[in-house]
């Protein structure tokens, strides 16, 4: 039962991660240095982006808790 729940939470976590908008110009600019990429910039989410970010955080924490519980049991 916990294994099925873990798989469902993993799929939801992947979908929420894919729904988030990118905060940089892409991976190519990270290697080339173009575009003024700042990995530590303070970007505030608003509206639906904030809801998705918060849901991703909660589902991520739930995922790690479930992994630990499944591993212990």
Q: pLDDT tens-digit profile of 17-56?
A: 999 877 655 555 555 555 555 555 566 778 889 999 999 9
b/e map of 32-64 (b: 16 or more CB within 10 Å)? eeeeebeeeeeeeeeeeeeebbeebeebeeeee
Q: What is the pLDDT of residue 6?
A: 95
> Residue 64 pLDDT > 60, yes or no?
yes
Q: What is the pLDDT of residue 7?
A: 96
pLDDT band at 60 (very low <50, low <70, confident <90, very high): very high
Q: Which residues contact 62 (CB under 8 A, 6 or more apart)?
A: 9
> Residue 57 pLDDT > 90, yes or no?
yes
The pair of three-digit structure tokens given for residue 52, joined into one six-digit string? 């998705």
Domain ranges of the chain: 2-72
């Amino acid at each position: 039962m916990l294994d099925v729940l873990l798989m469902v939470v993993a799929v939801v976590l992947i979908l929420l991660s894919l729904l988030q908008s990118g905060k940089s110009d892409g991976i190519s600019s990270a290697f080339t240095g173009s575009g003024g990429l700042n990995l530590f910039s303070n970007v505030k989410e608003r509206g639906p982006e904030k809801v998705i970010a918060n849901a991703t955080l909660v589902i991520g924490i739930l995922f790690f808790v479930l992994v630990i519980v499944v591993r212990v049991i």
